[in-house]
């Protein structure tokens, strides 16, 4: 069957500077094995399938696949899929012109908000938090090629993907690293480093490595940035609003806009349709 299809660039206003997500609309009746095979074929970090919701509070349901499996939640696919759903005629169930969009996915309901042309999602709660155990840190730093004493903190920020984040002290140090990707194994590793005193245009640099699901380095990662923002809120280490950079190591220029309104942490970015058409599945 022929389905509507779009490929959306997320976290960049240029159309090619962020992280692309492939979005299959009207995805009813596509077997799960076909979804997985198509995600492997696109070879993007994520491919999504938009389905009718099963929860009456949701506007649509989303399934998210990497080349190697399915995720319960991911950030840039959430933003890119909402963009594709809206531009294809999707409308929130609420009649309120400023109503949030409600996405149903593996972690439950995720709210999205439009501010001008930019979309943002409310960071889901962490399923796991707290310090990473020393043995795991030792495994990861050996693969990263850094000394253990360079890690200022190592924290679990699992909000669907089982992220751990290592604070390396500076954005410059984050960008210098050339990890041994195979040695990272199944670890889902995020790196974080603040620039200077944190009061510049870009607050911090972020990188993400998930080789175990077929993504050696992810260009720009919404779920990881959401987890980092949740951790920074708990430790009082970040302003209410800031911009993180990600993707420079891969030639991208992703910008993640974080805003903590005191209730929710909103993770936003620019979204641009780059490819639009149909796909036969």
Select from 78, 91, 242 the least CA-distant residue to 161: 78
Neighbours of 86 (CB within 10 A): 17
CA atoms 86, 91, 92, 96: torsion sign? positive
DSSP-derived letter for residue 255 is E
Select from 41, 25, 68 the least CA-distant residue to 218: 68
The CA-CA-CA angle for residues 40, 144, 200, to 5°, reads 95
Which token pair is 150? 């360079």
- Judged by DSSP in three states, 154 sits in strand
Taking the C-alpha atoms of residue 77 and residue 53, their distance in angstroms, rounded to an integer, is 17
Taking the C-alpha atoms of residue 257 and residue 177, their distance in angstroms, rounded to an integer, is 24
DSSP-derived letter for residue 132 is P
**Catalytic-labelled residue, pool 28, 46, 155, 172:** 46
Q: Is 176 an annotated catalytic residue?
A: no
Which token pair is 265? 């942490």
Catalytic residue positions, numbered: 46
């Amino acid at each position: 069957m022929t389905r509507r299809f779009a490929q959306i660039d997320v976290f960049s206003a240029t159309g090619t500077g962020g992280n692309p997500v492939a979005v299959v609309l009207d995805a009813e009746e596509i077997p799960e094995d076909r979804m997985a095979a198509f995600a492997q074929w696109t070879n993007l970090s994520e491919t999504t399938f938009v389905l009718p919701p099963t929860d009456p509070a949701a506007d649509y349901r989303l399934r998210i696949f990497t080349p190697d499996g399915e995720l319960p939640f991911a950030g840039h696919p959430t933003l890119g899929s909402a963009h594709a759903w809206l531009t294809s005629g999707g409308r929130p169930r609420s009649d309120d012109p400023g109503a949030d969009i409600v996405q149903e996915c593996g972690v439950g309901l995720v709210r999205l908000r439009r501010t001008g042309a930019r979309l943002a999602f409310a960071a889901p709660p962490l399923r796991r938090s707290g310090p990473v155990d020393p043995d795991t840190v030792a495994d990861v730093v050996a693969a990263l090629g850094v000394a253990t004493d360079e890690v200022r903190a190592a924290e679990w920020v699992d909000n669907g993907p089982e992220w751990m984040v290592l604070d390396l002290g500076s954005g410059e140090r984050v960008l210098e690293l050339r990890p041994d990707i195979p040695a990272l194994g199944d670890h889902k590793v995020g790196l974080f480093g603040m620039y200077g005193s944190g009061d510049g245009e870009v607050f911090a640099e972020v990188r993400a490595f998930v080789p175990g699901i077929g993504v050696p380095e992810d260009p720009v990662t919404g779920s990881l940035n959401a987890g980092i923002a949740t951790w920074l809120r708990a430790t009082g280490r970040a302003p209410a609003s800031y911009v993180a950079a990600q993707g420079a190591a891969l030639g991208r220029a992703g910008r993640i806009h974080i805003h903590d309104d005191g209730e929710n942490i909103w993770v936003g970015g620019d979204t641009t349709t780059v490819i639009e058409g149909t796909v036969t599945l």
